[in-house]
Structure 1
């Protein structure tokens, strides 16, 4: 089997699958020398299945990469006159960036964010408030006037302006 694959791990997977099929269908395995030819046939089909699966994964990866590239091309570019906003955002902790991203870019409300993160709605409300406050402080520290930042970045949906 090693001669038929480029990767020794793939060969090991095909062999394991071959013997798993043989074990499951033990009553169908011929006795004597004929068993070897039966196992060759099972291995051949297992290898074909593995190659089809690899081809499907490769095609799916290419399709997803194309979709992502299209999404990125359609996304609005960051405002070139306001680089401090991106820098302030990147300076936040990963959890703050995740919260703010879920709320602003994904448009999720507190209940939906709570489901995504596996926490209570109240915990999201508190964490989001604190993350927005830290973001505003980081903007101030970088010399950006946080009052000119788009409102959706600093407020929840439904909050008064």
Structure 2
């Protein structure tokens, strides 16, 4: 027979696994094992089940996923630094041709040029479609602060798109102008 904690966790997992998986996939650059990150998020949820607010489960899971991904990126960076140091002692570095593909699209290039904080604010709003109050919880700030960050991120992205002068910029600017959640 399942305990109340097991039942709550099972319901939480069933209700939010797909959303967390999508959140991680959209932020994964291929270097991270998505399934491992998602598993780590739900392991943390199980361990800290009592700390999860009942009315804001998904923002709590997104915030946890964000931290797990950050930890994975730091570990990748350390491994990359080690590999780079080893490469300096004998091998030549070969650039990956896939790196230039994203840069050929104006919106992707402009987005990539933004800082991590601006990118995350836009991802939470446009990709995850979170209301501002939930996105603020993911980032650990107030709703008012989130609105300011969103406004600034949109402004910086618009500036980058208009300076490129490409045909895709007006369509992207229209998408950015939509009302806040």
Please indicate the TM-score interval, normalised by the length of the shorter structure: 0.3 to 0.5
Larger Rg: 1
TM-score (normalizing by structure 1): 0.45
Greater RCO (CA < 8 Å, at least 6 residues apart): 2
